[in-house]
Amino acid sequence: MKRPLILALGSLALTGWLIARATRRTCSFAGKVVLITGGSGGLGLVLARQFCAEGARVALLARDADQLARAQAELTQHGGDVLTISCDLLEREQIGAAVQTVVDHFGGLDVLVNNAGIIEVGPLEHMQREDFERSMDLHFWAPFDLIRQALPHLRRRGGGRIVNIASIGGRMAVPHLAPYCASKFALVGLSDALRAELARDRIHVTTVTPGLMQTGSEGNAKFKGDHDAEFTWFSLSTALPFTSIKAERAAAQIISACRRGLPSLTLPVAARAVVLGHALFPNTTASMMKVLNTVLLPSPAGPDGDTARSGHELRQ
């Protein structure tokens, strides 16, 4: 009985793979309208550069108007067709207005990249409910609202692409990053759940779970607990050559996955190995995380540790 069942399951899996491959379509981004959140710096700006290089018309959403102006000046200097919108994604009413502005300006929408994010580092003892709510608002509810606003416009185009930039922390939780991991797990779940339902509208959803990325994110991250010690371990982690990836390389792989409509992308290779190891040996990785937290990561600090300080402050 076992052999026929295995053969049947194997045949079903092969058939599903062949159907998925046959229905997957690559696309050119020339002339396409691409909306990128968190697009004024870091990975978002690198993605914008590469989309513009392919002839896409790019809309950038971010809070800081000055950073947006600098990003627009750089991209337009190199021939990019760029619209910037100052938008606080924590304010729900601003999201709908921003999407409508993009559609009014460019005449439609083809690609949505949910990239905006925040990182709060520190022991659980120093994290408050507000820290978790803020992470959930930006990493889950903002992409949810953006997707809901974008869907009618993508359907009018006969299909489109949605790219949700989550994190390896959305596949495997890491100590001292509890709010970040919890919210990224939620985004991964949302992204994977929407994929099947939106496929009938020819809307491809790609879930991206990068490992550590060399984007200078440690400067914008917020640190609690032993501020200097937390900043040091996080900064060193993002600089390791074999466990992190440069933003330019990551952006190229993300755009390639988006073009092909891939369901999922984990990068770099080291991150894929970690996710696979966790899936196969969850108890072992759980034990390793306990050791990591006990032996290597800083202990909770005094009352001053409840105050969040940015990486830029700690560098001074």
Residue 93 burial class via C-beta count within 10 angstroms: exposed 0-12, middle 13-18, buried 19 and up: exposed
**Number of Cβ within a 10 Å radius of residue 139:** 31
**Residue 50 phi, psi (nearest 5):** -75, -35
Active site residue 180: yes
Tokens of 181: 């991991």
Tokens 């105050």 -> residue:
307
User: Following CA atoms 216, 276, 132, 251 in sequence, which dihedral angle do they give, to the nearest 10 degrees?
Assistant: 30
Tell me how far apart the alpha carbons of residues 57 and 32 are, in angstroms, rounded to a whole number: 6
Find residue 181's DSSP bridge partners.
none
What torsion do the CA atoms of 242, 246, 251, 253 make, to the nearest 10 degrees? Answer: -30
From 253, 179, 263, select the one nearest 211 (Cα to Cα).
253
Tokens of 191: 């992204």
In angstroms, the CA 267 to CA 59 distance is 25
Q: What b/e readout covers 66-86, taking b as 16+ CB neighbours within 10 angstroms? A: ebbeebbeebeeeebebbbbb
C-beta neighbour count of 101 within 10 angstroms:
15
List, edge to edge, every strand of the sheet that includes 309-310: 120-121, 222-223, 309-310
**Is 109 in contact with 84 (CB distance < 8 Å)?**
no
Catalytic residue among 180, 185, 231, 234: 180
How far is it, in rounded angstroms, from Cα 79 to Cα 82? 9
Catalogue the active-site residues. 180
